[in-house]
A and B are shown apart, each in its own frame.
Chain A
Amino acid sequence: DTAVSQTPKYLVTQMGNDKSIKCEQNLGHDTMYWYKQDSKKFLKIMFSYNNKELIINETVPNRFSPKSPDKAHLNLHINSLELGDSAVYFCASRGVGDEQFFGPGTRLTVL
């Protein structure tokens, strides 16, 4: 059983398009996150949700909008995609002792 899953694994799209990435966790955790990993492997937190409520919203363009329909799902919608949005996006959920469990990542390429 996959603990944290993301779809799609790869996403190639044109500038200006709108796209979504889906994340689901089956660990029963209350808190989920979105991270962006750039080409230099730097990991930056974008959003955190606790039981469907937004907790952390780092300095992220408002073209990025997270949506949490229930505590097992945290989706990321991106409007008007730009070249600089190309990165790997990771979803994670937080367990006991603050340990985070990561999904496999979604590699977004904006052309």
Chain B
Amino acid sequence: AQSVTQLGSHVSVSEGALVLLRCNYSSSVPPYLFWYVQYPNQGLQLLLKYTTGATLVKGINGFEAEFKKSETSFHLTKPSAHMSDAAEYFCAVSGPARDMRFGAGTRLTVKP
């Protein structure tokens, strides 16, 4: 069965600093991997996804993630944090049954 682990339930950065949110996955088959963002009182919005091909994936709002099979990781990064990036971020993996399993989420706080 597939699963993801997000390291750090809460990450705090200063505006303009690098954002790094960590995600490790477990899957019995080549995984499809996703990052979603949830702003307060809203649903989840897709940031980016990896299916096959290029391992560095670019998403919306300046975010990107790199699929590293040897490390079973799919960390999310953004070079320069903006106040509007403050939200809850979820890593997810889709497996053979095509159902999606989510990590526990990481709350990103951006300090002025």
Question: Interface residues, chain A, CB within 8 Å of chain B?
Answer: 4, 31, 33, 40-43, 45, 48, 55-56, 90, 92, 94, 97-105
Contact A102 B104 (CB under 8 A): no
Interface size on B, residues (CB 8 A): 24
- Can you pick out 15 interface pairs between chain A and chain B where the beta carbons lie within 8 Å of each other? A33-B100, A41-B104, A41-B105, A42-B105, A43-B90, A43-B102, A45-B101, A56-B99, A97-B51, A98-B49, A98-B94, A98-B98, A100-B46, A102-B45, A104-B42
Contact B104 A42 (CB under 8 A): yes
Q: Nearest-CB distance from B42 to chain A (Å)? A: 6
Q: Mark B67-109, 1 if CB is under 8 A from A, else 0.
A: 0000000000000000000001010001001111110110100
* Apart from A94-B98, A102-B44, 14 more pairs, CB < 8 Å: A41-B88, A41-B107, A42-B104, A43-B44, A43-B102, A45-B101, A56-B97, A56-B99, A98-B51, A100-B100, A104-B42, A104-B43, A105-B42, A105-B43
Interface residues of B in 1-57 (CB under 8 A from A): 32, 34, 36, 38, 41-46, 49, 51
Q: Nearest-CB distance from A55 to chain B (Å)? A: 8
Contact B99 A45 (CB under 8 A): yes
Known: A41-B105, A56-B99. A90 touches B49 (CB 8 A): no
Q: Nearest-CB distance from B43 to chain A (Å)? A: 4
- Residues of B within 8 Å of A97, CB to CB, are 32, 49, 51
CB nearest neighbor in B for A42: B104
